[in-house]
Amino acid sequence: MADSLPVKADPVFDGELIDDTLPQPRRRESKTNRFVRWCRHSPRVPLWLKSKPQAVQAGKDAVVGLVKSPWRYVGAVVRGLVVGVRWWRGWVTVRDYRTAAEESEKLADKFTEIRALTLFRWKVTGAVLVVAAVAVAIVDLVYGTDPLWIGGAAASVALAILGRKKDGSPGRKPALAGPRTLTWTMDPQVLVDAFRDAKLIGKDEALRLVDRATRVGDGWAVTVDLPATRKAADVVKNRDALASALAVDEVQLIVERVRGNGGHAGRVSMWVADEDPYASSPLRTPLLGVAQWDAWRPIPFGRDARDRRIDLPLVWTSLLVGAIPRQGKTFAARLAAAGLILDAWVRLYVADFKAGKDWDAAGLVAHRFMSGDEPEHVLALVDWLIELVGEVQSRFRRMRDLDDLTCPESKVTPEMSRDKALNMPITAIFIDEVQVPLEDRTPVDVQGKKLTAGEYVGELLTWLAKKGPAAGIVLVLATQRPDSKTIPSGLRAVLGSRFALRVMDWRDSNIVLGEQMNTRGFDSSRLLPSHKGVGILRPDGDTSAGADVLAMTVRTYYMPNEDWRTICEQGRTLREAAGTLTGHAAGQDTMPVLDHAAAVKAIGAGQAAKSPGELPEVLASLVEYLGDDLGPDGRDFVPTAELLDVLEVDSRTFAQQMAEVGCRPTRDRVTSEDGETRQVRGYRTAEIRSAVSRATTGASTADEDGQR
């Protein structure tokens, strides 16, 4: 009976199998949308119809122009009157005839004719004035004053047209110009003249206005396109010359190349401040007003010249701070530490080799803390670094066993850093005056190999800067001696973010910021001594200034010792509540867990001792470019122009760098692509090889000459 009961079946639908991988017909765009898209991209449509800020600025310009129009009209009439009087004077004195006679040396022969013609023209002028006076009297008597007012208005319009501001119009530019002020710098013609005076464009070339001048903060912003073949990089490099042409201090002028979809190699964005943007008092750090901070967010670092807040990302990167003493180096490093302190899940290592009290408050939150500059402190740092090398290796081994959902890219994630079971918190190590441990000559035994403590510290730091960021290690180094002998080039090359306050010369600036940065317009040696806390930031990551910005000048926030202590005390409270207070801060100064063999195997310690000396910046670039041409079968001579084009450096700087390594320019004949032979300046590859050999062996030029 039960087997015969009907069973309700699922409904059956008719359908068609569609292959959605095949190209589908595009939906036809409406005419309205096409018109709107055309308006946004067409160069024929003015900018103020495309952008609200541009429309607002256009409205302001129209109002200002309307208010100033009476004075401009009167000025044009006066200039027209001057032009007319000058023309009449030249006509009545027969200037053209007299000039021609002087040039043909026949002035004495033509003097009688010139005098007669001059008297005739004076008579014509008198007759015209009499006729005009009679005509005015008759019109006034017959028709009244209305026609006279109409005629006067027409005459004033004619004079205004004659006296309008136009290149080449007589009387437009005074012979002795007054002081150049910022009031005129955003006038389009003055901007063109400034580019010409700075030799950034030719006399017959002009600029194309992309965005009209608008007020941005306490200054003017404008974007222009350079003539074809002109590069924005040259404008950035010659910012000082452009600032001189605009009659402003270079700190008031910001010049950037516009990159991305809206830019190209010849598009320049400029911002000119009304006054020195760094003359005012610095602002307190905004971290004082927050209860806690997320270390995965960029940390408030300072403000740029346009008063934009600049945040510095620290996770997955590292930071080098360099400056001469008393320029705000420690304050900048503490700003980076403040954001991490306010995250209860961040583990801190703090080593203060200044041996002062600037970092003492960090002992309230630091997992490991020390302050001193003795050899025992350097050896303690070695133990810390070995411990961190082992921690990084351990994290990578554990990440291999995690599923792809928990650890998708072999990198520490925010969730992983806050999981107590995984024990992979963000770990930041701050070393102030890092030159002290790097220069320490205390001998250490590294698995049977003799090294100095400074060399070992350099190798450990280099390894951590390479491998550590992915495992959640943040390295922050601060030094008052940013020279090539103190900080190894291998370490500098892997430090992602750089911040250079004022240094002594452009070489020290390049050591902090990177090679050839001074030729790109970024030289911290040009910062003023009065600009405390002002430096050039080269970030490794996005900032509010844009992801494509190479570097920027930033004034760091102000955080005195009392604010620093307040933040550290708040960080301790957060860690106590979260149960993450460990190590030194918790009164548990345990000895680091060390595995010397594993550390040596990981970093290959001792190899640096056998490696040749480091090459200066210019020689390293030449070796990389010339390659096999430096060999015996390579070229004998390299033109200077070729090297300048490849290295993107100015001739004066390059000549100075080459002279410092013992290479002198010479002249030789080269054959161009069109077969023409000409004599040019350049360098012998044999001299470059000798300079490389001297740099790697440590020999001097005098030693080499003595051997010869």
pLDDT for the residue 2: 45
E strand residue ranges, 258-404: 267-273, 299-304, 309-312, 318-322, 347-352, 368-371
d(CA 505, CA 482): 11
pLDDT for the residue 556: 93
A 10 A CB-CB count for 467 gives 18
First-residue to last-residue Cα distance in the chain: 118
Amino acid letter, 454: G
In the block, tokens 């008597």 appear at: 141
d(CA 50, CA 46): 7
- Looking only at the bridges linking them, the beta strands covering 677-684 and 666-671 are antiparallel
* DSSP SS3 for 659: helix
C-beta of residue 349 within 8 angstroms of C-beta of residue 556? no
Q: What is the pTM of this model?
A: 0.65
In Å, how far are 309, 354, 362 from 357, measured between CA atoms?
A: 29, 9, 10
In Å, how far are 224, 298, 397 from 413, measured between CA atoms?
A: 42, 15, 16
pLDDT for the residue 174: 29
pLDDT for the residue 596: 59
Segment (H or E) for 553? strand 552-556
Per-residue DSSP letter, 504: S
Token output for 312? 């510095």
Token output for 352? 């203060």
pLDDT for the residue 180: 37
d(CA 279, CA 270): 20
Q: Which of 396, 407, 557 is nearest to 469 (CA)?
A: 396
- Tens of pLDDT along 501-554? 998 888 888 888 887 788 777 888 888 888 888 999 998 866 665 566 788 899
A 10 A CB-CB count for 273 gives 23
pLDDT for the residue 529: 85
10 φ, ψ to 5°? Answer: -70, 150
C-beta of residue 461 within 8 angstroms of C-beta of residue 605? no
d(CA 434, CA 494): 16
C-beta of residue 534 within 8 angstroms of C-beta of residue 303? no
Q: Which of 477, 489, 482, 496 is nearest to 538 (CA)?
A: 496
pLDDT for the residue 410: 84
In Å, how far are 42, 186, 230, 392, 520 from 227, measured between CA atoms?
A: 20, 19, 6, 52, 20
C-beta of residue 630 within 8 angstroms of C-beta of residue 624? no
pLDDT for the residue 45: 74
- Contacts of residue 683, defined as CB under 8 A and 6 or more positions apart, other chains included, come to 637, 638, 640, 643, 658, 663, 664, 665, 666
Q: Which regions of the chain are under pLDDT 70? A: 1-31, 40-41, 43, 107, 165-187, 483-484, 541-548, 593-614, 672-675, 697-708
Sign of CA dihedral 525, 526, 528, 533: negative
498 φ, ψ to 5°? Answer: -130, 145
Q: Count H helices, E strands: the chain?
A: 23, 19
d(CA 188, CA 192): 6
In Å, how far are 281, 478, 497 from 651, measured between CA atoms?
A: 39, 32, 29
pLDDT for the residue 472: 93
C-beta of residue 678 within 8 angstroms of C-beta of residue 669? yes
pLDDT for the residue 136: 86
d(CA 475, CA 463): 11
576-596: buried (b, 16+ CB within 10 Å) or exposed (e) per residue?
A: eeeebbbbbbeeeeeeeeeeb
A 10 A CB-CB count for 658 gives 22
* Lateral strand order in the sheet of 253-257: 208-215, 219-225, 267-273, 253-257
* DSSP SS3 for 437: helix
In Å, how far are 8, 27, 491, 591, 620 from 455, measured between CA atoms?
A: 83, 66, 11, 23, 21
Please give the distance of CA 209 from its chain centroid, rounded to a whole number: 22
C-beta of residue 476 within 8 angstroms of C-beta of residue 431? yes
CA atoms within a 13 Å half-sphere pointing along the CA-CB vector of 31: 0
d(CA 679, CA 638): 12
- Contacts of residue 405, defined as CB under 8 A and 6 or more positions apart, other chains included, come to none
- Tens of pLDDT along 1-25? 444 445 555 555 555 555 555 455 5
In Å, how far are 10, 418, 424, 441, 526 from 236, measured between CA atoms?
A: 73, 44, 43, 43, 15
In order, the DSSP letters of 584-650 are: GGGT--PPP---HHHHHHHHTTTHHHHSPPPPPHHHHHHHHHHGGGGSTTS-SEEEHHHHHHHHT--
